[in-house]
Structures are given as C-alpha cells and as structure tokens.
C-alpha cells in the first residue's frame, strides 16, 4: 500500500536519507554505487558504511520513498545486486526538503549581512 503521508511530514530529512535520495534522483543505482557516489560528491566527508547504508535503504523502502528496481544491464551483472530508484513520493519529499533548505540558506544569508 502506498504511503499517503504528506511530503512535509518527512521533513527535515535525516542526512543519510537526503544523500541517498539526491543520489537516486537522476536514476537507479545499486548499493555499492550509492556508497561511492555519496563519498565522491561530498569530497570524502560523508561515508555510508554498509550497515548504515542498507539500514537506511530498508527505512526508505518501508516509508515508500524509494523502490527496489529489477535491472540487469549485462549478462555479467551480479544477480545478488539490488537496484534502487526514487519513488514518486520520494521526489516530492526531496523537492520539499530542497525548498526548506533554500529558505534556511536565505535566512542565514540575511542574518550574516547584519
């Protein structure tokens, strides 16, 4: 059953949730690729260790923010590999979090001008 919670009810997103949703926004990925992309995008400042990555993926799946995606790109693709993609709800939540963060940055810019 799809999650009927409004996107704002997920805010603010936990950092691991945010990093995974941002990484999945352009397209599906498997777990190891998610870990590597987050590490690269953050200049090594955020490392999703396997235990925290797969626990977070489970939570995102249960919340309906991502979906498991069956994809085998080539015959030599490891059949144990699971792919994930952002769901429609996940995109709405990511957009809401993006708007929230933009407001926060605007506020920070205003108070630093004083």
Question: Tell me: the pLDDT tens digits for 74-106?
Answer: 666 677 789 999 999 999 999 999 999 999 999
Are residues 13 and 93 in contact, defined by beta-carbon separation less than 8 angstroms?
A: yes
Alpha-carbon separation of residue 47 from 22, 33, 44, 71, 87 (angstroms): 15, 12, 7, 25, 23
- 67: β partners: 85
Position 78 scores a pLDDT of 73
Task: Examine residue 12 and say whether the peptide bond preceding it is cis (omega within 30 degrees of 0).
Answer: yes
Average pLDDT over residues 55-84: 86
Structural domain tally of the chain? 1
Position 97 scores a pLDDT of 98
Helix (H) or strand (E) holding 102: helix 88-113
Average pLDDT over residues 41-55: 96
Position 73 scores a pLDDT of 64
Position 90 scores a pLDDT of 98
Question: Tell me: the pLDDT tens digits for 3-46?
Answer: 889 999 999 999 999 999 999 999 999 999 999 999 999 999 99
Task: Give the CATH number for residue 12.
Answer: 1.10.10.10
- CB neighbours of residue 53 within 10 Å: 19
Are residues 91 and 25 in contact, defined by beta-carbon separation less than 8 angstroms?
A: yes
Question: Is 72 a member of any domain?
Answer: yes
**Domain limits at 31?**
8-113
The pTM assigned to this predicted structure is: 0.89
Question: Is 3 a member of any domain?
Answer: no
Question: Is 1 a member of any domain?
Answer: no
């Amino acid at each position: 059953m799809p999650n009927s919670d409004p996107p704002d009810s997920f805010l603010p997103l936990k950092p691991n949730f945010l990093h995974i949703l941002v990484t999945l926004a352009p397209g599906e990925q498997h777990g190891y690729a998610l870990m590597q992309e987050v590490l690269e995008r953050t200049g090594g400042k955020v490392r999703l260790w396997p235990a925290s990555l797969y626990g977070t993926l489970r939570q995102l799946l249960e919340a309906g923010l991502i979906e498991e995606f069956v994809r085998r790109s080539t015959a030599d693709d490891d059949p144990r590999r699971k792919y994930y993609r952002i769901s429609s709800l996940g995109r709405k939540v990511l957009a809401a979090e993006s708007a929230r963060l933009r407001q926060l940055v605007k506020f920070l810019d205003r108070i630093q001008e004083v």
